[in-house]
């Protein structure tokens, strides 16, 4: 079984977004990663819930994996629920009310995800691991595409994989940042089963081939 590939449209060609989405979907991607950035929690600003709604209303059947890189995400979670997000990820660092934010998502029937920055220890999210369907381990510092994978984050993946087995939990482990056909291998072996890839996939050469490559190099059983 291969990794679930989640191409990030942050690196896509916005003028041809429908075509860019179809390319990766036809190549075997299952998720589409949508980064929402407010210019406060991270330096960059991206797009809003209108993009999510338009993609949801498009012919694409990809799971919409919405990553909120914003301060006080509980203020905007409802609009992304209404827009059609399938997964909503919230940074533990972005709100003092992480439990409430995840409850809002779960109550709406959307898959809740907690997100962890590279410099944040695992224990910060342990109190909410029983209520999430996915944990996103940031493998770069959030806010910009094209960064290099931080190898020290792999130990977090291993710990989370052991923790969920020990406690009988069933969340997916997603990685985001610097993912390519080399860095994905150790992360996948350590327990990550969902991989966000932006610059590597949408490099203006052959996005479909890049998705197929990530599936190919992870086509083996996990430890």
CB 135 within 8 A of CB 174: yes
Q: What is the pLDDT of residues 9-57, one digit of tens each?
A: 999 999 999 999 999 999 999 999 999 999 999 999 999 999 999 999 9
pLDDT at 5: 98
Token pair in block for residue 57: 């209303």
pLDDT for the residue 145 = 67
Q: Which residues contact 3 (CB under 8 A, 6 or more apart)?
A: 184, 188, 192, 193, 194, 195, 214, 215, 218
- pLDDT category, 221, cuts 50, 70, 90? low
pLDDT at residue 127, as a whole number? 97
Q: How many residues does the chain have?
A: 223
End-to-end CA distance of the chain: 12
CATH of domain 4-217: 3.20.20.70
Give residue 2's pLDDT band: very low, low, confident or very high (50, 70, 90).
confident
Q: At what angle do helices 183-190 and 207-217 cross, to 10 degrees?
A: 40
pLDDT digits (tens, 9 = 90+) for 73-124: 999 999 999 999 999 999 999 999 999 999 999 999 999 999 999 999 999 9
Model confidence over 147-200: pLDDT tens digits? 799 999 999 999 999 999 999 999 999 999 999 999 999 999 999 999 999 999
Which of the residues are catalytic? 35, 176
In contact, 48 and 77? CB cutoff 8 Å? no
């Amino acid at each position: 079984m291969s990794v679930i590939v989640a191409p990030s449209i942050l690196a896509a060609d916005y003028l041809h977004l429908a075509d860019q989405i179809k390319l990766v979907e036809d190549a075997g991607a299952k998720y589409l990663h949508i980064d929402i950035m407010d210019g406060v929690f991270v330096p960059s600003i991206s797009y809003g819930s209108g993009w999510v709604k338009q993609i949801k209303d498009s012919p694409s059947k990809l799971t919409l994996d919405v990553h909120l890189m914003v301060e006080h995400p509980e203020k905007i979670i409802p609009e992304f629920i209404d827009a059609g997000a399938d997964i909503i990820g919230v940074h533990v660092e972005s709100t003092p009310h992480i439990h409430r934010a995840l409850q809002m998502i779960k109550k709406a029937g959307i898959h809740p995800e907690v997100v962890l920055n590279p410099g944040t220890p695992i224990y910060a999210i342990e109190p909410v691991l029983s209520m999430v369907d996915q944990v996103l381990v940031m493998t770069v510092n959030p806010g910009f595409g094209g960064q290099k994978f931080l190898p020290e984050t792999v130990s977090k993946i291993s710990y989370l994989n052991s923790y969920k087995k020990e406690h009988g939990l069933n969340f997916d482990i997603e990685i985001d940042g610097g993912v390519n056909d080399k860095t994905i291998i150790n992360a996948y072996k350590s327990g990550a089963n969902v991989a966000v890839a932006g610059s590597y996939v949408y490099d203006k050469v052959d996005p479909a081939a890049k998705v197929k490559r990530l599936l190919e190099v992870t086509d083996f059983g996990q430890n």
